[in-house]
Structure 1
């Protein structure tokens, strides 16, 4: 198999969308955990709230 035969892994392909969903779920969990631990919302933590 040569490098020309490998399909690109960017754009709206299933591989990219799966990783996008996984990272979004991870971000939500981290954001909610931080909010529970500090008592401040995400915007308040970075100075906008």
Structure 2
């Protein structure tokens, strides 16, 4: 009989990388929407340009 170990949630695991990718996509879309709505890029809004 095989024993199954629970999937690790920390470190470079499949679970962590999937969530990292999802959150990166949400952040990218949010940045594009903010730039479209305000007419300024992220650096402009931060006062760096």
Q: Same fold (TM over 0.5)?
A: yes
If each structure's helix is expressed as a fraction of its own residues, which one has the higher value? 1
Gapped regions of structure 1 (runs ≥ 5): none
Moved over 2 A (4+): 5-8
Report the TM-score, using the length of structure 2 for normalisation.
0.83
Q: How many residues align?
A: 45
Gapped regions of structure 2 (runs ≥ 5): none
Q: CA RMSD, aligned part only?
A: 1.1
Report the TM-score, using the length of structure 1 for normalisation.
0.83
